[in-house]
Amino acid sequence: MGDKPTIAISHLGCEKNRIDTEHMLGLLVEAGYSVDCNEELADYVIVNTCSFIAAAREESVKTLVELAEADKKIVITGCMAQHFQEQLLEELPEAVAVVGTGDYNKIVNVIERTQLGERVKQVSAEPTFIADETTPRYRTTSEGVAYLRVAEGCDYRCAFCIIPHLRGKQRSRTIESIVAEAEHLASQGVQEIILISQITTNYGIDIYNKPQLAELLRGLGKVDIPWIRMHYAYPTGLTPDVIAAIKETPNVLPYLDLPLQHSHPEILRTMNRPWQGQVNDAVIERIKQALPNAVLRTTFIVGFPGETDEHFNHLCEFVKRHEFDHVGVFTFSAEEGTEAYNLPDQLPQQIMDERRDTLMEIQQPISGKKNQLEIGKIVDVLIEQENPITGELIGRSARFAPEVDGQVYVRGEACLGAIVPVKIDKADAYDLYGKFV
Annotated binding site for [4Fe-4S] cluster: 14, 50, 79, 154, 158, 161
Per-position DSSP letters for 34-63, written without gaps between them: EE-S-GGG-SEEEEEE--SSHHHHHHHHHH
Q: Helix, strand or coil for residue 435?
A: strand
What is d(CA 355, CA 321) in angstroms, rounded to the nearest whole number? 18
Q: Helix, strand or coil for residue 5?
A: coil
Asked whether 261 and 273 are in contact (CB, 8 A), the reply is yes
Asked whether 365 and 383 are in contact (CB, 8 A), the reply is no
What is d(CA 242, CA 231) in angstroms, rounded to the nearest whole number? 14
Q: Which helix (H) or strand (E) holds 389?
A: none
Asked whether 81 and 122 are in contact (CB, 8 A), the reply is no
Phi-psi region of 50 (alpha: psi -120 to 50; beta: other; left: phi over 0): beta
Q: What residues form the annotated binding site? A: 14, 50, 79, 154, 158, 161
Q: Helix, strand or coil for residue 163?
A: helix
CA-angle at 360, arms to 383 and 339, nearest 5°: 105
Q: Which helix (H) or strand (E) holds 199?
A: none
Q: Which helix (H) or strand (E) holds 26?
A: helix 15-30
Q: Among residues 260, 287, 257, which one has the least CA distance to residue 359?
A: 260
